[in-house]
């Protein structure tokens, strides 16, 4: 079934990554700031003492442009921007500290980008010291960073280790020189090896790699070499993302020679082979796009059904509040989402006027919470039990699609719930979409059916994992599913 052209056509459509529900295109363009402040106050009061809070800090600068990239980034070689940006982050943090009124209990910090290692070790130390000043660090905390193998130095790693960081994710993407040339990201294997070994020497207990399939000039042989080389370094966890070619949203992708891109059929074959090579290398497939060694805590969380998913992707921590700081960062209060201004100019202007930089956002309804839970269940456990108090909506929107997927062999379905089959794992996002009432209603209104998701999904900028537009090379949230 999966090799046949009709099947491939049906599933080779952009589908959200579901790091939020509702997804960003369905948020309001202008958030009610007093309502946001009230929601923040309520959630902070509810979760700070027990669970603590998570912080996502977006560091947007990069020294060179990788043309496949869908991140919110600013390319520059001028490092004076670091201090200016840090000052803005400190002012933003101060505004939230005033709203908190008591010391935050910090459970999680994640530095994403852009390229966080664009910042000097001294400036990263200034940043973390300021965030922790007067805060309480949760005994079960987790601090992590995205590093570029080309510019992460031993000094960066030693400094970060001293500040409590134990996990680093490197954007590897592909190790073949021809593919690297085609995406304008020249990064020899030697740099990845050095950065990995140095992280371990510094004391990091977890090193992650991001790989991407579906890139220009990628072939079975090239991808196999990339995966075998990556596996030889034994990263604890690997993300294996699908490249989403969306040049109408990401201008730099227009520089990619489209004749170099694999077809839908070749892309599915790359995914299937990649999954096999990773599994042969000792990695377990976890939820959407992720593979982990036995020893990795994400694998334990997957097995124990304690995995969680938010804008930072999969996480073993669930703090009840994710506060995003910096340009384009996203905050998730559980009951509401908000995103900061996506332009540096707009972000600086708000912060310098002593105003929050939140722009668009969304306050969840009762229906949203139920369908969000179904989507989280599917992404984190591969199964969900229906909430029958919402049976009319399930019958109208969700079940017709799930019955179709059952015929395709992607799910087991009964009156109580749905479970993904092994064959259904690559199509997990499509199964989530069956619960995405915002997208399904929007498609119906537009008569879009199987067409691309119209304005709501594709004419807006994509937002990905990690609390902002996807950083360090990650593809956008709306990704071609195969
Ligand atoms: S892939 Fe990473 S380094 Fe390259 S432009 Fe995007 S954020 Fe910057």
Q: Is 143 helix (H, G, I), strand (E, B) or coil?
A: strand
pLDDT tens per residue across all 482 residues of the chain = 556 667 767 777 778 889 899 999 999 999 999 999 999 999 999 999 889 999 999 999 999 999 999 889 999 999 999 999 999 999 999 999 999 999 999 999 999 999 999 999 999 999 999 999 989 999 999 999 999 999 999 999 999 999 999 999 999 999 999 999 999 999 999 999 999 999 999 999 999 999 999 999 999 999 999 999 999 999 999 999 989 888 988 899 999 999 999 998 899 899 999 999 999 999 999 877 899 999 999 899 888 888 888 887 888 877 789 999 999 999 999 999 999 999 999 999 999 999 999 999 999 999 999 999 999 999 999 999 999 899 999 999 999 999 999 999 999 999 999 999 988 988 899 999 999 999 999 999 887 544 443 333 333 333 344 444 444 444 444 444 44
Report cis status (omega within 30 of 0) of the bond before 22. Answer: yes
How far, in Å, is the centroid of ligand 1 from the Cα of 264?
25
Pocket (CB within 6 angstroms of ligand 1): 62, 65-66, 69, 71, 73, 113-115, 148, 171, 471-473
- Rounded Cα distance, 415 and 298, in Å: 30
Residues ≥6 apart with Cβ < 8 Å to 400: none
Do residues 330 and 311 make contact, with C-beta atoms less than 8 angstroms apart?
A: yes
- φ, ψ (nearest 5 deg) of residue 119: -75, 145
How far, in Å, is the centroid of ligand 1 from the Cα of 60?
9
Pairing outcome for strands 308-310 and 313-315? antiparallel
Which helix H or strand E contains 94, and what residues bound it?
helix 81-100
Q: Is 17 helix (H, G, I), strand (E, B) or coil?
A: coil
pLDDT at position 464, please?
A: 40
pLDDT at position 363, please?
A: 97
- What's the number of CA atoms in the CB half-sphere (13 Å) around residue 266? 15
- Rounded Cα distance, 308 and 280, in Å: 26
455 burial (CB, 10 Å; 0-12 / 13-18 / 19+) is exposed
- Nearest CA residue ID for atom 4, ligand 1: 66
Q: Which numbered atom of ligand 1 lies nearest the CA of 173?
A: 1
How far, in Å, is the centroid of ligand 1 from the Cα of 218?
19
Q: Which numbered atom of ligand 1 lies nearest the CA of 473?
A: 1
Dihedral over alpha carbons 279, 284, 286, 292 (to 10 degrees): -110
How far, in Å, is the centroid of ligand 1 from the Cα of 208?
16
How far, in Å, is the centroid of ligand 1 from the Cα of 63?
8
How far, in Å, is the centroid of ligand 1 from the Cα of 317?
26
Helices (H) and strands (E) in the chain, counts: 17, 21
Token pair of 374 as six digits: 């179904």
Q: Which of the listed residues 146, 179, 185, 251 should we mutate to test ligand 1's pocket, taking the one with most ligand atoms within 8 A of CB?
A: 185
Q: Which numbered atom of ligand 1 lies nearest the CA of 64?
A: 5
The reported pTM is 0.90
101 Rama sector, left if φ>0, alpha if ψ -120 to 50, beta otherwise: left
pLDDT at position 448, please?
A: 53
Q: Which numbered atom of ligand 1 lies nearest the CA of 474?
A: 1
| H, E, C per residue of 402-460 | HHHHHHCCCEEECCCEEEECCCCHHHHHHHHHCCCHHHHHHHHHHCCCCCCCHHHHHCC
Do residues 117 and 79 make contact, with C-beta atoms less than 8 angstroms apart?
A: no
How far, in Å, is the centroid of ligand 1 from the Cα of 183?
11
pLDDT at position 314, please?
A: 85
Q: Which numbered atom of ligand 1 lies nearest the CA of 185?
A: 4
Do residues 297 and 316 make contact, with C-beta atoms less than 8 angstroms apart?
A: yes
Sign of the alpha-carbon dihedral angle for 256, 261, 267, 273? negative
Token pair of 285 as six digits: 């497939």
């Amino acid at each position: 079934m999966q090799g046949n052209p009709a099947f491939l056509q049906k599933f080779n459509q952009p589908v959200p990554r579901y790091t939020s529900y509702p997804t960003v295109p369905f948020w309001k363009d202008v958030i009610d700031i007093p309502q946001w402040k009230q929601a923040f106050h309520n959630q902070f009061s509810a979760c700070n003492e027990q669970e603590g809070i998570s912080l996502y800090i977006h560091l947007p600068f990069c020294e060179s442009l990788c043309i496949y990239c869908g991140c919110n980034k600013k390319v520059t070689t001028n490092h004076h921007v670091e201090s200016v940006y840090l000052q803005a982050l400190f002012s933003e943090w101060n505004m939230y500290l005033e709203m908190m009124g008591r010391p935050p209990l910090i459970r999680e910090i994640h530095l994403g980008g852009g390229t966080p290692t664009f910042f000097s070790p001294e400036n990263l130390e200034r940043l973390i010291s300021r965030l922790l000043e007067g805060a309480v660090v949760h005994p079960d905390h987790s601090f992590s960073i995205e590093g570029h193998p080309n510019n992460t130095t031993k000094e960066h790693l030693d400094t970060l280790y001293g500040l409590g960081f134990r996990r680093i994710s490197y954007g590897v993407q592909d190790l073949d020189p021809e593919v690297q040339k085609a995406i304008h990201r020249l990064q020899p294997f030697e740099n990845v090896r050095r950065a990995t070994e140095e992280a371990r020497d510094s004391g990091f207990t977890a090193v992650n790699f991001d790989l991407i399939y579906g890139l220009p000039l990628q072939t079975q042989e090239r991808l196999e070499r990339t995966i075998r080389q990556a596996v030889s370094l034994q990263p604890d966890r690997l993300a294996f993302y699908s490249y989403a070619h969306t040049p109408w949203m990401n201008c730099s992708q227009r520089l990619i020679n489209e004749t170099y891109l694999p077809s839908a059929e070749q892309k599915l074959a790359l995914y299937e082979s990649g999954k096999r090579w990773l599994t042969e290398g000792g990695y377990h497939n976890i939820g959407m796009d992720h593979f982990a060694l036995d020893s990795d805590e994400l694998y334990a969380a997957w097995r124990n059904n304690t995995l969680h998913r938010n804008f930072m992707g999969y996480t073993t921590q669930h703090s009840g509040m994710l506060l995003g700081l910096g340009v384009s960062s996203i905050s998730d209060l559980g009951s509401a989402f908000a995103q900061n201004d996506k332009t540096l100019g707009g972000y600086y202007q708000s912060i310098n006027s002593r105003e929050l930089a939140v722009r668009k956002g969304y306050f969840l309804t009762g229906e949203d919470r139920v369908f969000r839970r179904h989507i989280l269940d599917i992404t984190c456990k591969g199964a969900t039990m229906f909430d029958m108090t919402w049976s009319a909506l399930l019958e109208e929107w969700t079940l017709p699609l799930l019955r179709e997927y059952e015929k395709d062999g992607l799910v087991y379905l009964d009156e109580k719930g749905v479970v993904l089959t092994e064959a259904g794992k690559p199509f997990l996002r499509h199964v989530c979409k069956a619960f995405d009432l915002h997208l399904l209603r929007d498609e119906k209104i537009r008569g879009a059916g199987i067409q691309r998701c119209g304005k709501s999904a594709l004419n807006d900028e994509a937002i990905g994992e990690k609390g902002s537009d996807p950083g360090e090379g990650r593809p956008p949230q709306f990704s071609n599913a195969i």
